[in-house]
Amino acid sequence: MNPEKVIFGFFIVLALTLNFGFFVGDIENPNHHHVYELFAVVLVNVIATILKFGDRTQMGAVLLATSLVAVLQLFVATIVWTFAVHIFDIGLTPTVMASIVSLSGGALLANVISVVLLVIETVMLRR
């Protein structure tokens, strides 16, 4: 067993599951989407992205691209949250919360694609 592959797979799957946990719930209800959970999702996705650097295969390039998409959408969701709460002082209105959760949903889709590609790559490996 390759410990590097285990850590790589762990962070990819953890990014997906944390993102799913943040995404699930009433789209407009801030009580269903905690700020610390969003922070954890961003952090784990950034770690997963960093782990994808250095793979020079075509599959590695696609995995990196999906991870970059997820991180970008999560950063935008974090910026929307920060501006709504701390800069404009409008709070987490249903519209703002729906935007944040929708961006998280896009990142969730990118994470699903990443995990599917990881499974495909694993199945294609020959001993």
Q: What is the pLDDT of residue 122?
A: 87
- What's the number of CA atoms in the CB half-sphere (13 Å) around residue 58? 0
Domain of 24 in residue numbering reads as 3-124
In this structure, the dihedral spanned by the alpha carbons of residues 53, 63, 27 and 33, taken in order and rounded to 10 degrees, is -30
Q: What is the pLDDT of residue 71?
A: 98
Q: Are 44 and 14 in contact (CB under 8 A)?
A: yes
pLDDT at residue 127, rounded to an integer = 57
Q: Identify the helix (H) or strand (E) that includes residue 1.
A: none
pTM of the model: 0.92
Q: Consecutive sets of 10 residues in the chain, 127 residues long: mean pLDDT of each?
A: 89 96 94 95 96 88 95 98 95 95 97 95 79
- Structural domains of the chain, count: 1
Express each pLDDT in 44-61 by its tens digit.
Answer: 999 999 998 888 889 999
Alpha carbon 80 to its chain centroid, in Å, reads: 16
